[in-house]
Amino acid sequence: MAQSAPLVMRLVASSITAANRAGKIIRDVMSQGDLGIVEKGKNDLQTEADRSAQRCIVTSLSRQFPSVTIIGEEGTSNCEVPSDWVVTDSDPQILQLACPDEYQNIQDDDIVVWVDPLDGTSEYTQGLLDHVTVLIGIAVGDRAVGGVIHQPYYNYKTAGPDDMGRTLWGIRGVGVGGFEPQSPPQGKRIITTTRSHSTAAVQAALDALQPDEILRVGGAGHKVMLLMEGKAHAYVFASAGCKRWDTCAPEAILVAMGGQLSDMHGNSYSYSRDTPHQNTGGVLGTAKGEDHAWYLKNLPDAVRQTLL
């Protein structure tokens, strides 16, 4: 039964265990105390946790799916991966779920896996640990279809080391799991946006949308989780700073529960293997039940013109 599950379902099932293992690596690097920070660019850090978590995920998935294209934020390295970082088991619950007809016969060639081994690096280095997530997105053709978000420090203030963290998943046409989907409060507009990568255009977009409240938090995964759990109505980021690995997994889960994610012009991002990595049109995510078009209509043209 499990062996014969369709490829998309097997990829999500294996991504859950790989993301959980990567989360443990992220916690271990922090508790060992040497983050090994490298500056990749302006306001763009990489730590030993980003590097190690990526090696864990890419090695684990490519052992099981050697012909599937995997694109990760941190590039590749040929160093040996410790054997206990390689996990090849799968989440049994996902393998039992019915796969939609349109994804029954998907081949290796049709898939790209987008990996952000540690989303919210800036917040990780500053000790804002619950902003950190591990993101694994599964694209079929050019669409984000499956997503896994692992939050390694969920409940870290109250949980012990063995019950810390959680893993959320979603598959278009199947549903979501690992969390309780909630709608945001009616009669209010709460917008979430970047905490560490703001610009004049990012602020101008927020001003025009007149939110009742702004939640400035780290990580694309964390911000989309706020939409999924009814804590915010929209994620508005009028900047070209995010990449496909930031949005693929969150978009798949958000869409699977009835929300939307597009660029600031209302166009969907393509997640096919030859697509550019940069989300040059910015990010607009809206919770289930929100009027995505209202946000698009009320964004100032001057802001939109700063984005391709």
* Residues near ligand A3P, by CB under 6 A: 43-44, 73, 116, 119-121, 194, 196-197, 218-220, 239, 241-242, 246
Q: Taking the CA atoms of 122, 231, 291 and 137 in sequence, report the sign of the dihedral they define.
A: positive
Judge whether 116 is annotated as a binding position: yes
Is residue 116 within the footprint of Mg ion (CB under 5 A)? yes
Instruction: Give the E-state strand segments of 98-242 in sequence order.
Output: 111-119, 133-140, 143-151, 166-171, 175-177, 190-193, 213-216, 234-237
Among Mg ion, ligand A3P, none, what binds residue 48 when CB lies within 5 to 8 Å by partner kind? Answer: none
Q: What are phi and psi of 35, to 5 degrees?
A: -80, -15
- Which residue out of 50, 91, 130, 263 is catalytically annotated? 50
Among ligand A3P, Mg ion, none, what binds residue 167 when CB lies within 5 to 8 Å by partner kind? Answer: none
DSSP code for 85: G
Is residue 73 within the footprint of Mg ion (CB under 5 A)? yes
Select from 48, 91, 130, 246 the one that contacts Mg ion (CB under 5 A): 246
Binding piece for Mg ion, criterion CB under 5 A, among 102-110, 113-121, 169-177, 253-261: 113-121
Q: Which amino acid is at 88?
A: T
- Residue 238 CB: number of other CB atoms within 10 A? 28
Q: Taking the CA atoms of 261, 265, 270 and 276 in sequence, report the sign of the dihedral they define.
A: negative
Would you say 63 or 277 has its CB closer to ligand A3P?
277
Give the count of alpha carbons within 13 A of 218, CB side only: 21
Judge whether 299 is annotated as a binding position: no
Residue with tokens 């958000």, as numbered in its chain: 254
What token pair was written down for 55? Answer: 């090696």
What token pair was written down for 138? Answer: 């599964």
DSSP code for 83: G
Among Mg ion, ligand A3P, none, what binds residue 218 when CB lies within 5 to 8 Å by partner kind? Answer: ligand A3P
- Residue 172 CB: number of other CB atoms within 10 A? 20
Would you say 164 or 242 has its CB closer to Mg ion?
242
Rounded least distance, CB 5 to ligand A3P, Å: 30
Q: In angstroms, rounded to a whole number, what is the distance separating the alpha carbons of residues 124 and 25?
A: 13
Q: Is 121 a residue of the active site?
A: yes
Q: In angstroms, rounded to a whole number, what is the distance separating the alpha carbons of residues 68 and 52?
A: 21
Q: Is 50 a residue of the active site?
A: yes
Would you say 197 or 273 has its CB closer to ligand A3P?
197
Rounded least distance, CB 122 to Mg ion, Å: 8
Site for Mg ion (CB under 5 A): how many residues? 6
Rounded least distance, CB 226 to ligand A3P, Å: 12
Judge whether 89 is annotated as a binding position: no
In this chain, which residue has its C-beta nearest to ligand A3P?
241
Q: Which of 307, 149, 294 is nearest to 233 (CA)?
A: 294
List active site positions.
50, 121
Residues in contact with Mg ion by CB under 5 A are 73, 116, 118-119, 121, 246
Known binding positions for Mg(2+):
73, 116, 118-119, 246
